Amino acid sequence: MNVVSDHVEVPTRMLVHALVGEDGTVDAGELYDVAGVLGMSDQQVRLCVKRLVAEGRFAQEGRGRKAVLRATAETMRDLVPDADFLDYAFQQDAGLAPWDGVWHLAAFAVPEAARGARDALREKLLYLGGSLVQGGLYVSANAWEPYVEDEARRLGVHDALTLMTSTDLRRGETSDPVELARGLWPVQEIAARYERLGAVARPRWERLAGPGEIGSAELLTMAVELAAELTRAMEPDPLLPPELLPQPWPGTEARGLVARCWTVLHERDRGTMPSLFRLHDEIARRAGTSAASSGPKKENAAP
């Protein structure tokens, strides 16, 4: 097997999440098979599954390779927004989601007695790409209100939530949107993650686009590695509008490379590769179809 460079570490937990189907289940036999291709031991998989069940993230029906893992409602709720965000990122890359100049703010004042809910809401705001402006006040450049309200209702603190928008946000003497974005979010750190994603995707794209046969094991390995590295890059990304980012933005090229790889992976799939990241697989393929004809250098509603 002609192995491409830039080894990618794939956590077992991430692999389990990658194999969750639309019905919320993971076939344990498939999980063990894929893990084996990636060099993971059966014991490593068993321990990971045991932890996920103990944490209440999955329920297990059956034993061993014949078992079925069923994602809990909370796990599925966490996975679904990822598809929305990936779709939105590709819209941004294609110039289909221009910024309207509106900042979206969320403030809350949850009492100490509900500290758990307060901390959970804070974590959710950060996960959704928000940045802390000052105590209890967070800002996003995207229309995040439906996600914020859903979480606040789930936590039972919706009455403590205040939502607002602004077109003239200022922080001290800074009012320029680009300067504000640079001060509120770690833009350079985010860019570095996408540079890493590009470094991983580029040799895999060259391998996929080149001549010669590629075995199913290598195809599977590349698919999982790309999915893992894409997740690492996108999870901390607030998906700031291109108008607020340095240009050229490395995320655009990196995601384009991944989309092209994904398209070729599906073209070469002989029915032996599982549908990795099923919740957003079709999104990546759609983006890859439009990107594939433009070559590696040319790239093209808020979540």
Residue 17 and residue 137 share a domain:
no
Flag the least confident range among 52-66, 185-199, 205-219, 284-298: 284-298
Average pLDDT of every residue of the chain: 85
Residue 236 and residue 113 share a domain:
no
What is the arithmetic mean of pLDDT over 152-181? 96
The total number of residues shown for the chain amounts to: 303
Q: What is the distance between the alpha carbons of residues 65 and 47, in angstroms, rounded to a whole number?
A: 14
C-beta separation of 239 from 194 below 8 A = no
Instruction: Go through 82-117 and write b for each residue having 16 or more CB atoms within 10 A of its CB, e for each that does not.
Output: bbbbbbbbbbbbeeebebeeebbbbbbebeeeeeeb
Helix and strand numbers (H, E) in the chain are: 11, 7
Whether 52 maps to a domain, the answer reads: yes
Residues 192-212: pLDDT tens digits? 999 999 999 999 999 999 888
Give percent of the chain above pLDDT 90: 55
Whether 198 maps to a domain, the answer reads: yes
Q: What is the distance between the alpha carbons of residues 232 and 11, in angstroms, rounded to a whole number?
A: 11
Q: How many domains does the chain have?
A: 3
Tell me which of 301 and 261 has the higher pLDDT. 261
CATH of the domain at 116: 3.30.70
3-state secondary structure of 216: helix
Residue 230: Cβ within 10 Å count: 25
Amino acid (1-letter code) at residue 240? L
Tell me which of 227 and 141 has the higher pLDDT. 141
Closest of 157, 148, 166 to residue 109, by C-alpha: 157
What is the arithmetic mean of pLDDT over 284-300? 42
Residue 91 and residue 107 share a domain:
no
Whether 302 maps to a domain, the answer reads: no
Instruction: Tally the C-alpha atoms within 13 A of residue 144's C-alpha that lie toward its C-beta.
Output: 28
Flag the least confident range among 75-84, 85-94, 107-116, 259-268: 75-84
Q: pLDDT-based confidence at 188, cuts 50/70/90?
A: very high
Tell me which of 247 and 294 has the higher pLDDT. 247
C-beta separation of 108 from 136 below 8 A = yes
Tell me which of 259 and 285 has the higher pLDDT. 259
CATH of the domain at 60: 1.10.10.10
Residue 210 and residue 111 share a domain:
no
Residues 222-259: pLDDT tens digits? 888 888 899 889 988 999 999 999 999 999 999 999 98
Residue 126 and residue 223 share a domain:
no
Q: Which domain does 231 fall in, by range? A: 80-95+186-292
Residue 212 and residue 91 share a domain:
yes
Give percent of the chain above pLDDT 70: 85
Whether 181 maps to a domain, the answer reads: no
